[in-house]
Amino acid sequence: MRKPLLVLSVLAVLGAWVAVSPVYAEKVFKIGVLGPFTGAQAKVGAEFKASVDLALEEIGYQIGDYKVEPVWIDSQMDPAKAVGAYEEAIEAKTSPPVLNWQSSVAVAVMDVVAKHKVPIFRFRSYRPGKREVSFRPGKI
């Protein structure tokens, strides 16, 4: 129940970003979803797809006047391949990607994020009593 709610929240934020972005004049909002859609962790990628599709179905694949179109960015659980796929998606005018699965992939795409000056949204679970650690570019 929490995952669709988080996806809907991010979609709302991205919807606001689309409203002020001249890049999306055609009224189609392409949202990138980074995940392992092929390879050893393809099952996780299938779960990503199912959760994003469920959230998009809840809003009728619509944000205001924009039709929402997911763009599946396959990391293949390989940082180098993820960087290439991520770069291609950004250059194809896909919105800032959401989700991710593997820390090494997330760290690898940070240079692409910085180069293109785009945000990336990432979800993480919370377990009471456990210490949370988050990655912050430029800080150790």
At the second CATH level, the architecture of 2-10+28-116 is 3-Layer(aba) Sandwich (3.40)
pLDDT, average across residues 28-45 = 90
Render pLDDT for 69-89 as a digit per residue (tens, 0 to 9): 999 999 999 999 999 998 998
Asked whether 119 and 96 are in contact (CB, 8 A), the reply is yes
Whether the model pTM is above 0.85:
no
Instruction: Please state at what angle helix 2-19 crosses helix 42-58, rounded to 10 degrees.
Output: 70
Cα-based distances in Å from 93 to 25, 88, 103, 126? 11, 9, 25, 32
Q: For residue 90, what are the contacts with CB-CB under 8 A and spacing of at least 6?
A: 32, 112, 116, 118
Neighbouring C-beta atoms of residue 117, cutoff 10 Å: 6
Q: Where are the domains positioned within the chain?
A: 2-10+28-116
pLDDT over 50 (residue 125): yes
